[in-house]
Amino acid sequence: MFRTSLRRIFYFLLIIITYSSCEKDDTFPVDIQAQDFVWKGFNAYYLYQDQVDDLSDRRFNNDQQLMSYLSGFGSATDIFNALVVSNDTRSVLVDDYNLLSQDTPLRSSFTTGLEFGVMRDPNNPNNVIGYVLDILPNSNASNQNISRGEFFYAVVDSNNNTIQLTEDNYTEQLTNAQQLDLSILTADFDGTTLTPNGKQVDLVREQYQHPPIHFRRIIDVAPNRIGYLMYNNDFSGNYIQDLNATMLDFQNNNVSQLIIDLRYNIGSGSFASTVAELASMITRQFDNQPLIKETWNIKAQPWFEVNQPDSLITRFPTSLSNGTAINSLNLTDVYIILNGRGFRGSSALELLVNSLRPYINVHVIGNNTIGDNLGSITLYDSIDYNFSATGVNANHTFALQPTVLTFSNVNDETYSTGILPTMTICPVENPMDLGELGQTSDPLLNSVLNYITNGTIVAPACNPFDFEILYNSINQQILPDRGVFIEQHLPNLGR
């Protein structure tokens, strides 16, 4: 115990010395202050600091040498690009930190409400066949005679001319936002022969506000009451109250099993605190117990362990960030259909799955996930890297969002190589057998229901006709995965 205490004290003193060796000098010229901020932010907290020679604490003996080095870069962008390691696709330099203070907008789009895929016609490789994936609720398409699983082959233009859809023209004909009206001609298709059926569907593009919850229902499959939630929006926190209200509805209806269907979820980034709130909605048997653990670089980690050990742990919360009590189902099992292209998940979802697994059974339906266990933070050019209206350097507007840590669960298990699914499914849905969302006719949902009731894992048929899928309108809406961010008070050392 005494030896361990001495080792902690040694690390603490070492960090004080190394941070102080790069103490901010007010004499640094204005034209390199942004470069100075980037270097010191990376030197202090970049996860890969020990892999970059120019970020070594021994690289410069004094501020004059550092100043000379910084002067070799014409901009903050230049030095950022020089310091970031080649395989780091997560770290970002933000040109204007004022944009970060703006709330993430609620999801909206200019659409007919028809979500669709496009595949090559097996009998005529120059032609394509469209198929309906979903009809957005309360959209223009929801008021027309069209439904999931139908096929279409042509459009009718403003002059009433029929235009066959081909590989060369389908993008312009189906996705041109400048064209308000979209009229499609439907057909019957048996996997081989396409037969026009004489139906024309006239659609209009409108500004559309996506609902917080795409679809929810309760499915009774004895002896279970199963809550089914289809959630398509981002994990920014915009819809956390709506998710909490959904859990209350499920709770009031004595739901004993939960399916979270994210197959059409648009992803994007999130915060570890938001992921923790979602975890507590699923299970509340573990209030305030460790859920997520952080591991920083070899400089910052010892400091946190000595001075802020609790800041390295995110615990199961009992309330949302605004103080609202979290509604929970107290489940021991949850079934999650993955989001992303090829149903490979997103960083926020990987963190949720990995963090819950030591506590409950998390059944993953999809494919092997990407393995993004990295965490980021936003740094500002201030004495403690946090934002305040009077404390941020007024000579530039850069903010730094470096990769600073890796996530693990309470058992120190991580997921850098991805998470293996419980049930592996086809990377694309079978256009010939889509069924109705939320109903047992949906092959994917039906497979999950069978697994819940009898433990049998039988995935839906995987594109038995071997169609070549060319386009998916939902995939086009998937947001860049910005990763998982944390909010943390950083040590005021050497700034």
Single-letter code of the amino acid located at 404: V
Task: State mean pLDDT over 399-415.
Answer: 98
| Cα 449 from Cα 457, distance rounded (Å) | 10
Global pTM reads 0.91
Task: State mean pLDDT over 285-296.
Answer: 97
Residue 211 has a pLDDT of 97
Instruction: Express each pLDDT in 85-119 by its tens digit.
Output: 999 999 999 999 999 888 888 999 999 999 999 99
Residue 260 has pLDDT above 50, yes or no: yes
Residue 444 has a pLDDT of 96
Backbone angles phi, psi at 154, to 5 degrees: -155, 165
Omega of the bond leading into 480 within 30 degrees of 0 (cis)? no
Structure tokens at 297: 């670089």
| Cα 446 from Cα 442, distance rounded (Å) | 6
pLDDT classification of 27: cutoffs 50, 70, 90: low
What is the percent of the chain where pLDDT is above 70?
93
Residue 4 has a pLDDT of 43
| Cα 232 from Cα 340, distance rounded (Å) | 11
Residue 388 has a pLDDT of 75
Query: Interior CA angle at 489 toward 485 and 492, to 5°?
Result: 130
Q: Which of 10-19, 139-148, 170-179, 361-370 has the lowest mean pLDDT?
A: 10-19
Task: State mean pLDDT over 45-65.
Answer: 95
Residue 463 has a pLDDT of 86
Residue 145 has a pLDDT of 97
Residue 241 has pLDDT above 90, yes or no: yes
Residue 16 has pLDDT above 60, yes or no: no
Residue 36 has a pLDDT of 96
Helical pair 2-20 and 300-307, crossing angle rounded to 10 deg: 120
Task: State mean pLDDT over 289-308.
Answer: 95
Residue 6 has pLDDT above 80, yes or no: no
Residue 389 has a pLDDT of 62
Residue 17 has a pLDDT of 44
Instruction: Express each pLDDT in 155-181 by its tens digit.
Output: 999 999 999 999 999 999 999 878 899
Residue 375 has a pLDDT of 97
